[in-house]
Structure 1
Amino acid sequence: MRTLLVTGGMGFIGSNFIRYWLQRYPADRVVNYDLLTYAGQPANMAEAAGLPNYRFVRGDVADADAVRRVLDEETVDTVVHFAAESHVDRSIADPQAFVRTNVLGTGCLLEEARRAGVSRFVHISTDEVYGALGDEGIFTETTPLAPNSPYSASKAGSDLLARAYFETYGFPVITTRCSNNYGPYQYPEKLIPTIITRAMRDEPIPVYGDGLHVRDWLYVEDHCAAIDRVVHQGSPGEVYNIGGLNERTNLDIVRAILAELGKPESLIRFVPDRLGHDRRYAIDPAKIASRLGWQPQVPLEEGLKRTVAWYAANEAWWREAAKRGGGV
């Protein structure tokens, strides 16, 4: 039996992970530690609220006293750290918020977890820390970090802190770096939910630049399964890249969703490119496949169908979520 502290568990990937974990390991206890910023939706975990092995604690990862209190109260043995500011556009507008949460918050959490004697700390990061690729090549765990946005720079900073805690203190930190996630409960500001929700309302769909920026897409349940392998089998001090093996241009994704919804491509509107927009990401997940036996299971076409169906069936959720963040 484990007691997990999951930070950012009201967010997109965190809430999917908690649901995944409670379903597969009902004997474990999960403590969800989340500040409930605009992207943290209480509705994401409403179904777990009454479970005896689930607890929600509202708190800031940068608040050492609050983190120390929850670690001590629950005798946590495993931390899975999702909590982060993650939207590139917002990082360009307000970089200091990303430094505070992603760098200072991770540093605070690492120190308090070390003090509490946590036996495993899984730090969830992103492929964006590697920067941009050209038309060829792929990110591996040894690719140098070369972040290009305030968001990715703050995540790279948190990754280096995680590494330092292993190298300096022998603290059992494992870092994962994933490609672009998609699926149910993703906040409406991100690309795929933006396309879906705007298309459902027959609104113009903005596409940055020429729309040919390439991303590797990973269905969120596949990501959760990969983290499961890391929690149970990963080696402290290691980095594991988690990719979906689904490289597509942004324009490909827009067109696929419009086709799934039966909407015309005339909704597409090309807009000026954003600052520091990386041209291509691609992850090599060979290490986690060979060492931990994980591979993605959900093809992109199937994952998009599931995701479109979920947003179509949960309009009240995404409308309320958007209002919390100042959207429609």
Structure 2
Amino acid sequence: MSGFWKGKTCLVTGATGFLGGSLVSELLREGAEVVALVRDMVPQSRFQSEGLVARAKVVRGALEDYDVIERALNEYAIDTVFHLGAQAIVGVANRNPLSTFEANIKGTWVLLEACRRVATVERIVIASSDKAYGDHDVLPYQEDFALQGRHPYDVSKSCADLIALSYAATYRLPVTITRCGNLFGPGDLNSNRIVPGTCLAAIDGTRPLIRSDGSPVRDYVFVEDIVRGYLLLARHMGDADVVGRAFNFGTGEPVSVLDLTRRTLAAAGRADLEPDVRNNAHGEIQAQYLSSALAAEKLGWAPGAGLDERLAQTFLWYKAHRHFF
């Protein structure tokens, strides 16, 4: 424990989500007081299943509700905000873009405007995504690349990212932004994602499903490494060359969907299972991966272990929690 977080009061939006549960757990371990904004209770989430809810203060409400956000910031004298709350499932965004735009775009400007009006707030970390960059001919993504999402989820992240940068530049709000690769690890309840779906298939002895042709390339990064990145970023908010800018967090080792599936099966001891490649996905960018050189330089951040070790660690969680699905 560093001691930095002891006595800090942190608002975490998206606390019942995959990343949110891991972040809340670490903040509590570090001695912070956590206030969690929660719309829906999720019994299988780390926030509830591991008893974190009993150790945090819970504010019930939606991201888009300004009065709820301002009240939480003001009444609990919040000094640090981690804005993770979002509609994060691409398929849901494609089916109903309006709810995604409301949560991801409006939810971000509501939060930032409330922070602007509450004097206790000293640092704000906004979760964007590598999807905010959209399609680029040159890779890896660098932080100065244009944000040019085209599909609903990607656009929602591009917009939220730009709004956060606007509040930093115009109002000198103490904001930083994270743009992370594809997260995986213990606690991800979305079985439609590659790693959870493949782990569950391995446990059940069935062929894992790949909706694309298996060739799209992504940057897959372990959730606990990302939590460490968030905490480092917040701690460095007093640095002039950190505040008001975005940071990429990824492994720098792009992996195809098919390769990731096979490596997950190997980590699970089921390399004998052949992936079921459907090739019926649409609207996907072929290659997305990040340079994390800036995070390494300014924050000293790097992934804590290799992909195969992290996949093995992740599989053990799904094996122990098969009853959640």
TM-score calculated relative to the size of structure 1: 0.90
Residue-by-residue CA offset, 1:14-72 (whole Å, 9 max, x unaligned): 1101111211x21x211111212779837546422333xx2122211101111122112
Q: CA RMSD in A?
A: 1.9
Which of these residues, 132, 157, 164, is aligned with residue 166 of structure 2?
164
Indicate which of 89, 98, 101 corresponds to 1:99.
101
Q: Which deviates more from structure 2 when the two are superposed, residues 96-105 or residues 165-174?
A: 165-174
2:22/2:46 contact within 8 Å kept = no
Contact kept in structure 2, 1:148 and 1:276, CA below 8 Å: no
The aligned residue for residue 36 of structure 1 is 40
Partner in structure 2 of residue 227 of structure 1? 230
Q: What is residue 283 of structure 1 aligned with on the other side?
A: 290
Residue 4 of structure 2 corresponds to none
1:183 to 179, 182, 185: 185
| Aligned-pair CA distance for 1:132 | 2.9
Query: For structure 1, which segment, 263-272 or 184-193, has the greater mean C-alpha deviation from structure 2 after superposition?
Result: 263-272
Asked whether 1:10 is paired with 2:10, we answer no
Within 2, Cα distance between the matches of 1:298 and 1:42? 22
The 2-side partners of 1:159 and 1:38 are apart by: 27
In structure 1, what is the equivalent of residue 59 of structure 2?
57
TM-score normalised to the size of structure 2? 0.91
Q: 1:155 to 1:38 in 2, by over 3 A?
A: farther
Letter in 1 for 2:320: A
* Structure 1: stretches of 5+ with no match in the other structure: 320-328
Deviates more, 1:1-10 or 1:273-282: 273-282
Deviation at 1:185, TM superposition (A): 0.5
Aligned in 2, Cα 1:42/1:314: closer, same or farther, shift over 3 Å?
closer
- 1:83 aligns with one of 62, 82, 85: 85
- Matching residue of 1:174: 176
Q: What does the per-residue CA deviation read over 1:222-249, in whole Å, with 9 as the maximum and x for residues that have no partner?
A: 1011111100003221111111223110
Aligned to 2:140: 138
Superposition deviation, residue 115 in structure 1: 0.8
> Is the 1:36–1:42 Cα contact (8 Å) retained in structure 2?
no
Q: Deviations over 1:174-225 (max 9, x none)?
A: 1110111110111223221011112322334221332011111111111011
Asked whether 1:47 is paired with 2:54, we answer: no
Specify the SS of the correspondent of 1:153. helix
Aligned to 1:212: 215
What SS does structure 1 have at the residue aligned with 2:282? coil
Identify if the C-alpha distance between structure 1 residues 148 and 200 changes in structure 2 by more than 3 Å, giving closer, same or farther: farther
Number of aligned residues: 313
- Cα 1:313–1:243, aligned 2, differ >3 Å: closer, same or farther? same
1: distance between equivalents of 2:9 and 2:175?
A: 16
Measured at CA, do residues 219 and 42 of structure 1 come closer, stay the same or move farther in structure 2, by a change above 3 Å? closer
Matches of 1:8 and 1:73, distance apart in 2: 19
CA contact (8 A) 1:107 1:158 kept: yes
CA distance in structure 2 between the partners assigned to 1:293 and 1:262 by the alignment: 34
Percentage of pairs with the same residue: 30
**Distance in 1 between the 2:99 and 2:44 partners?**
16
Separation of aligned partners in 1, 2:323 and 2:47: 11
Query: Does structure 2 conserve the Cα–Cα contact (< 8 Å) formed by 1:211 and 1:270?
Result: yes
Distance 1:174 1:43, change over 3 A: closer
- Structure 1 residue 284: deviation in Å? 0.5
Structure 2 unmatched runs, 5+ = 1-6
Q: Is the 8 A contact 2:139 2:288 kept in 1?
A: no
Cα distance between partner residues in 1 of 2:298 and 2:275:
42
2:132 and 2:148 in contact (8 A); partners too: yes
Give SS of 1:50's match: helix
Runs of 4+ in structure 1 off by over 6 angstroms are: 37-40
SS of residue matched to 1:181: strand
